[in-house]
Structure 1
Amino acid sequence: MNIAFNINRLAMIGLGVTLNSLLENCSNPKKINIYILCADLNQDDKENIYKLLFKYGLTNVELIDFNAKKHFGNFKSLQGDWTPYGRLLLQDYILEDTVLYLDADLVVELDVLSLEGFDFQGKAIAAVNGGPIRYSLENLFFCDEIGINPELASFNSGILLMNLKVWRENDIKNQCLTFGRSYPNKLKSADQTILNGLFAGNFAYLPDEFNLAWYAHINRPLSKKATLHFVGSPKPWDLFGRYFHRGFSVWKSYLDADWEKAYYNYNYNDFLRVWHIRKSYARSFILKNKIK
């Protein structure tokens, strides 16, 4: 099974936990091939990734350098970062027929091999149904500006099963880039805006437990095993995350000692992130105390 990630240095702390949880809960890790698009990773970062994966016996690992700003610098960034758009390039970098794309802010409690042989029913992607598009962040853009039916299903792009054969046959990568160039300042959710603009309602459905949103202020959203997605801000590993995010202990349980030593510390960019998401901290504090 092919699994892809798309990260920069700021995502390294989350990647370690995502990989550990994914592989610890996989029935046969040696069946997994890992592809990671790397934006600005240094050699130490790459060595740490290899070391973690080799611990599980994985040898089919490909780290792919790419310049996110060069490819997507004309699109709206996420707080100055263009890395999330990288997953739109996977049809070129992975020559297999399918790949499971995962964000690096997950705890994967499910066996990902259960998705082997998934029936796409001819669709280009499969994702968890995120509800009608009229409730999405960009609902006015989708419904009023480009005329998408507000009742069509939307999805979060952090967990996508991609039918790369269909992507290449229809050159979906360039369809995505064309959409982005047409609306460069409307991309509030980066690649997710593009993908929903192209695929609203036209995707195969993954079981709900494969992308379960866990916001900082709420208790665990489901008791049974799931792929827990730490959406929004702050994340469990952010500065003061242990106090603001109710999923901190679950996340920390998959953080091994080597990864913690290498990445669970704070530098200028982490403090800068706190400034960028200061309103999220305040909102999380208010909501957390409301539901005590």
Structure 2
Amino acid sequence: MKKNEFAVVLASDNRGVLPLSVTIFSLLNTAGPETFYKIYVLSDGIDGENRNSLERMASRFECRLEFIDVSGILEDHDFPHTEQWPVPAWGRVFIPELLKEEKGNILYLDIDVLVCRDLTELFGTDMSGKAVGVVFENFSKPGSHFNERLEMPLTCTGYFNSGVLLMNVDVFREKNLVTAVLDYAFSHRDRLTCPDQDALNGALCELTVPLHPRWNWHDGLTRRILKNDPRERFWRGVTPRQAVEAALEPGILHYQGVHKPWRYNWRYEGERYERAMREADLLHGPLPGRTLPAILKKHLYKPVYRMTRNKILKLQKQFEKEDGQCS
């Protein structure tokens, strides 16, 4: 029997089966010898053929894969769900109710993430009675885009990205937080721009635990390091030291934005994703979208990423030197 048994939840419909498959493969392929994952897929109509394909891939590893139908989950709730923000996007809100047998920490992942290492460290996070572990995008401050719009008090740490959520389902149940998030979504429906993420932030803002940015990192943040001043205390919710650590050794990469890595584009971390696709036997031949303009753009960005990496390595040496002086 494995020593570490963890529950991980993802959500998708038929349109997202390819990235869903890559995320599940990366999760299982990086698991340590003592790690066993129970994977729950919140399904909005994933058909039998795609389910069978996912089960065949998962059977290469020691794990449990289960599908939970959530296609009717919003029937009793008048929420804004669109093609961009479909039913599966809201599925994460209902996790504490859908997985009644699970206790403690459950990890929710968006399907556009790539797991880069075993997640035992992440699951061991001390939640200190709080509801959710998150990576923050911005700190609270007067006049911010979220504090006023979402009526989030300045006592809240900040605004977090909901693509990676370490959920303490015991606290959710004790405090009836599923209802709190749904009530918030309804009462603020005219203010929500990222509906599910905004609602989670607004309802849970004082019940969060900050996670190291390595658990929800993307190459846009890596590239931004080139512009950031290392003398600043924080870079959008993380310290320069944390940013360097996350860029060099990410735990979970999140491919945010419209340029997704299952299509050819200029993003640096797309190469890591492409390797995972090939290892999972999900890509034969070149990535789709490989056009001359896309190739030229990728080459134009290469010097930017080289300069970024040089700055990151320089900062790493600086931090190591400071640590040596303090010891």
| Normalised-by-shorter TM-score class | 0.7 to 0.9
Tell me the secondary structure at the aligned position of residue 165 of structure 1. Answer: helix
| Residue identity opposite 2:248 in structure 1 | S
Deviation at 1:61, TM superposition (A): 1.9
Aligned match for 2:205, one of 187, 195, 200: 200
Structure 2 regions of 5+ residues with no counterpart?
1-5, 226-245, 306-327
Matches within 5 A, 1:229-244: 229-237=254-262, 241-244=263-266
**Pairs aligned (count):** 267
Aligned partner of 1:35 among 21, 35, 40: 40
Q: Contact between 1:73 and 1:82, CA under 8 Å: does it hold in 2?
A: no
Residue identity opposite 1:108 in structure 2: V
Q: Which amino acid aligns with 2:92?
A: R
Where does residue 112 of structure 1 map in the other structure? 119
Distance 1:144 1:190, change over 3 A: closer
**Structure 2 residue aligned with 1:274:** none
Contact 2:155–2:206 (Cα < 8 Å) also in 1: no
Query: Which residue among 252, 255, 259 is the counterpart of 2:282?
Result: 259
> How far apart in 1 are the matches of 2:9 and 2:85?
23
Query: Is the 2:138–2:160 contact (alpha carbons within 8 Å) kept by the matching residues of 1?
Result: yes
Per-residue deviation, residues 190-218 of structure 1 (Å, max 9, x unmatched)? 21101111222531122221111233994
Indicate how the Cα distance of structure 1 residues 107 and 219 shifts in structure 2: closer, same or farther if over 3 A, else same: farther
Residue 161 of structure 1: CA displacement? Answer: 0.6
**Pairing of 1:263-274 with structure 2 (within 5 A):** none
Q: CA deviation at 1:81?
A: 2.5
Cα 1:204/1:30, change in 2 over 3 Å = closer
Give % identity.
23
Q: Measure the CA separation in 2 of the matches of 1:207 and 1:260.
A: 32
Structure 1 residues 217, 12: closer, same or farther in 2, change over 3 A? Answer: farther
Deviations 1:28-61 (A, max 9, x none): 3762111110112111111111111111122x22
TM-score by length of 2: 0.71
1:214 partner amino acid: D
How far apart, in 1, do the equivalents of 2:178 and 2:21 lie? 28
Distance in 1 between residues matched to 2:36 and 2:207, nearest whole Å: 30
Could you tell me how far apart the structure 2 residues matched to 1:30 and 1:40 are? 30
**Any stretches of 5+ residues in structure 1 without a counterpart?**
267-280
Q: Relative to structure 1, is the Cα distance of residues 79 and 61 closer, same or farther in structure 2, using a 3 angstrom cutoff?
A: closer
Amino acid at match of 2:69: D
Aligned to 1:270: none
Residues 244 and 260 from structure 1, CA distance in 2 versus in 1: closer, same or farther, beyond 3 angstroms?
same
Question: CA separation of 1:44/1:229 partners in 2, compared to 1, >3 Å: closer, same or farther?
Answer: same
Q: 2:268 aligns with which of 246, 252, 275?
A: 246
Alpha-carbon distance in structure 1 between the residues aligned to 2:222 and 2:13: 26
User: 2:107 matched to which residue of 1?
Assistant: 100
Tell me if structure 2 keeps the 8 A contact 1:77–1:190.
no
Bigger Rg, which one: 2
Which structure ranks higher in relative contact order (CA pairs < 8 Å, sequence separation ≥ 6)?
1
Partner of 1:159: 164
2:137–2:158: 8 Å Cα contact kept in structure 1? yes
Matches within 5 A, 1:69-88: 70=75, 74-75=79-80, 77=82, 79=84, 81-88=86-93
User: 1:271 matched to which residue of 2?
Assistant: none
Q: Which amino acid is 1:18 matched to?
A: T
Q: Find the aligned partners of 1:145 and 1:112 in 2 and give their Cα distance.
A: 32
Alpha-carbon distance in 1 for matches of 2:264, 2:110:
21
| Residue in structure 1 matched with residue 229 of structure 2 by the alignment | none
Q: In the superposition, relative to structure 1, how do residues 131 and 245 fare at CA in structure 2: closer, same or farther (>3 Å)?
A: same
CA contact (8 A) 1:123 1:163 kept: yes
